């Protein structure tokens, strides 16, 4: 691997005054040196700054990335990781001092990762602070779990360890020196110890609980504190040096440059918050002794004045449908192109391709893409923390999914009982004959508790789903098929899965809690005979005469379930005004005319082309189709970033199907 010939010369020293902790420099051999020597995020290396500087390097084939950082903002770190991952250049990572927290994730892009023996790497679970009510705290905890699931694949891909092993190491806040990192797979090469490592100017690192003393000794006072050597500048044991000759012009130029840098720094600071505190900004600029760090403290104090768990009057972030005009416009134009909404003629995003939508989602957020090829640009749009592109694609896919579900030609919803379950535990259902007749309560007497007369049937949920991918190639090729046709067909397949489960109950005749099949002679719900007035009347009588003890349940059939091959015969038999074979003027009426609705199902043809069934009215205890918390439509989850070349979309539905009571259904063998 090519390396810089003057690495020792160009390694920046951590200096508060020079602020030289971050630098990119291209060389004449098509390589570049990148130094990250501070926190990651707003108070250090921001993703926006990093990506802009990386783009400014131009075409480079190799990058030497030097890291000495305590970590920082996780989303800035993810964006930096993805920018390097998709850059295309080979990357050699040098751990010059410490790669902790999010800095260790960025280090995983290196191949190889080189560490001196006395350098350190630390990995831990994501953490942060949150304010608000109990629901806000739960939401923040869920966010931290999701962040951890995003970071783990980066470590696992580099080390070859399982996600469980990585999760255990994160849980314990694991510190590793160079030799340990190589043995565990986090690094590839160990070199002799550095004679001196750059100090770390960060308050963040002091918060780590298990930090070795060797790292604590590297810490210098935070950047907003007074330098310790200022009080010891006078040493009586030393002879005073001659006063240097001062050039007034040089001093004036130095002061002007420092003031210019201070004003620009304060301006950039307040710009991050939308320039909403102009009075405070002007006050800080007018005070020549107010540094950027002091301005930051004043701004944070101003922002925190009204911040309490019960006071949520802080300025809201602008989200889609609440002022995010770019995302709203792209979403509407894409919905119209897919056929789910009417086209708005004044929408400037009409007629654009998917690649152009990806570009606009980045450039309208101030993210430059001029140096990226199409694959890199689309990849950045799918993974950048501020891009809305991935969510827009997910909205379109979800629309197609629901359309496929609604348009699916399934018959089970017309006659089955709809239910809901709150979890995946096995639930028990009481049949329609579960309670006897009510007993008389004499005046002044107590009511007595009742027990069910039969054994309840069980039902439990299961998860059914598949994964499809919206790839970068499909976006570049402007292929809407992965956004519309694929999820639509998966929505139909989800509904068809429930239909398969329902009709499998009829055709496979499972055993109930009493140990007997659903349709059994002992249950008095099994008959014979081809479709005719007499055979239908016999099956109807079986259902009408079902009892609970000595009490007749008087169940009336409402549906006749037949194979498609018997649909015409069934309709003729039930809907005719007279009996088949009688003379026209005989005056013989059809006693079963319109007594049930005929439902033809192709799945019954595959199982037995002659058998047919009667079912009681919908809502009666026949077959229950239960959904998790009553959500009777499929839903999708999205995963993007480290392990997917695009967006992996998971379609799933949580449902359970089970027979409830044999008395609400009858079967005829048809022979």
Catalytic amino acids?
101, 124
Nearest-angstrom CA–CA distance, 340 and 334: 9
3-state secondary structure 433-502: CCCCCCCCCCCCCCCCCCCCCCCCEEECCEEEEEEEEEEHHHHHCCCHHHCCHHHHHHHHHHHHHHHHHH
* Nearest of 587, 591, 611, 592 to residue 601 by alpha carbon: 611
Residue 231 to residues 235, 290, 407: CA-CA distances in angstroms? Answer: 10, 21, 79
Residue 109's SS3 state is coil
Pull the structure tokens for residue 204. 């963040």
Nearest-angstrom CA–CA distance, 223 and 120: 23
Counting other chains too, the contacts that 433-439 makes at CB distance below 8 Å and 24 or more residues apart are 433/546, 433/547, 433/548, 433/549, 433/553, 433/661, 433/663, 434/548, 435/548, 436/548, 436/549, 436/551, 437/551
Pull the structure tokens for residue 18. 């020079």
DSSP category for residue 104? H
CB 273 within 8 A of CB 299: yes
Nearest-angstrom CA–CA distance, 336 and 342: 5
3-state helix, strand, coil split of the chain in percent (to 5) is 40, 20, 45
Q: Cβ neighbours of residue 412 under 8 Å, at least 6 residues apart? A: 498, 499, 502, 503, 623, 625
Nearest-angstrom CA–CA distance, 187 and 113: 5
Nearest-angstrom CA–CA distance, 34 and 63: 7
Residue 191's SS3 state is strand
Residue 148 to residues 126, 141, 167, 329: CA-CA distances in angstroms? Answer: 6, 11, 8, 32
CB 126 within 8 A of CB 141: no
Asked if omega into 325 is within 30° of 0 (cis), the reply is no
Residue 277's SS3 state is coil
Pull the structure tokens for residue 135. 């629901």
Nearest-angstrom CA–CA distance, 20 and 11: 10
């Amino acid at each position: 691997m090519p390396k810089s010939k003057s690495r020792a010369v160009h390694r920046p020293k951590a200096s508060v005054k020079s602020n030289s902790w971050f630098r990119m420099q291209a060389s004449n051999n098509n390589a570049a040196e990148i130094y990250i020597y501070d926190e990651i995020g707003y108070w250090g290396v921001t993703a926006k700054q990093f990506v802009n500087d990386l783009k400014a390097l131009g075409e480079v084939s190799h990058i030497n990335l030097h890291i000495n950082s305590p970590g920082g903002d996780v989303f800035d770190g993810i964006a930096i990781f993805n920018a390097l991952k998709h850059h295309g250049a080979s990357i050699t990572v040098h751990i010059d001092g410490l790669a902790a927290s999010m800095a260790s994730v960025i280090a995983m892009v290196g191949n190889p990762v080189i560490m001196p023996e006395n350098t350190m790497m630390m990995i831990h679970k994501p953490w942060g602070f949150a304010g608000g009510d109990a629901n806000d705290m739960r939401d923040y905890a869920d966010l931290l779990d999701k962040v951890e699931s995003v970071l783990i694949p980066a470590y696992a891909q580099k080390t070859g360890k399982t996600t469980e092993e990585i999760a255990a190491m994160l849980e314990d806040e694991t510190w590793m020196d160079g030799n340990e990192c190589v043995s565990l797979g986090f690094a590839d090469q160990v070199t002799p110890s550095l004679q001196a490592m750059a100090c770390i100017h960060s308050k963040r690192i002091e918060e780590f609980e298990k930090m070795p003393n060797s790292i604590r000794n590297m810490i210098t006072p935070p950047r907003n504190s007074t330098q310790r050597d200022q009080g010891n500048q006078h040493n009586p044991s030393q002879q005073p040096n001659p006063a240097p000759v001062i050039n007034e012009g040089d001093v004036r130029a130095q002061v002007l440059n420092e003031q210019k840098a201070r004003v620009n720094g304060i301006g950039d600071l307040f710009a991050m918050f939308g320039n909403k505190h102009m009075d405070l900004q002007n006050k800080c600029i007018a005070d020549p002794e107010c540094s950027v760090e002091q301005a930051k403290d004043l701004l944070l104090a101003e922002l925190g004045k009204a911040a309490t768990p019960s006071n949520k009057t802080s300025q809201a972030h602008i989200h889609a449908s609440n002022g995010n005009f770019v995302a709203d416009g792209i979403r509407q134009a894409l919905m119209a192109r897919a056929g789910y909404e009417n086209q708005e003629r004044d929408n400037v995003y009409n007629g654009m391709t998917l690649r152009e939508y990806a570009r606009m989602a980045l450039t309208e957020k101030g993210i430059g893409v001029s140096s990226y090829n199409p694959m890199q640009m689309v990849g950045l749009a799918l993974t950048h923390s501020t891009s809305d592109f991935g969510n827009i694609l997910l909205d379109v896919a979800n629309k197609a999914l629901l359309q496929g579900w609604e348009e699916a030609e399934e018959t089970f919803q017309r006659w089955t009982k709809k239910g809901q379950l709150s979890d995946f535990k096995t639930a028990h259902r009481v049949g329609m004959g579960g309670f006897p007749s009510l007993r008389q309560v004499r005046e002044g007497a107590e009511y007595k508790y009742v027990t069910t007369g039969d054994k309840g049937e069980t039902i439990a949920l299961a998860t059914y789903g598949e994964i499809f991918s919206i790839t970068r190639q499909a976006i570049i090729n402007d292929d809407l098929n992965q956004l519309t046709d694929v999820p639509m067909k998966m929505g139909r397949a989800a509904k068809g899965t429930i239909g398969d489960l329902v009709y499998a109950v009829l055709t496979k005749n499972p055993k109930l809690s009493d140990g007997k099949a659903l349709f059994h002679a002992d249950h008095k719900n099994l008959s014979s005979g081809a479709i005719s007035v007499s055979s239908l009347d016999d099956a109807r009588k079986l259902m009408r005469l079902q009892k609970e003890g000595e009490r007749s349940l008087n169940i009336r059939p409402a549906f006749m379930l037949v194979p498609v091959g018997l649909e015409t015969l069934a309709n003729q038999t039930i809907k005719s005004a007279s009996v088949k074979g009688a003379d026209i003027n005989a005056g013989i009426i059809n006693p079963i005319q319109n007594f049930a609705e005929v439902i033809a199902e192709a799945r019954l043809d595959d199982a037995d082309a002659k058998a047919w069934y009667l079912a009681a009215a919908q809502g009666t205890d026949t077959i229950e189709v239960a959904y998790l918390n009553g959500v009777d439509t499929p839903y999708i989850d999205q995963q993007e970033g480290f392990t997917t070349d695009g967006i992996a979309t998971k379609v799933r539905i949580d449902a359970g199907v089970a027979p409830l009571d044999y008395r609400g259904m009858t079967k005829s063998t048809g022979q």
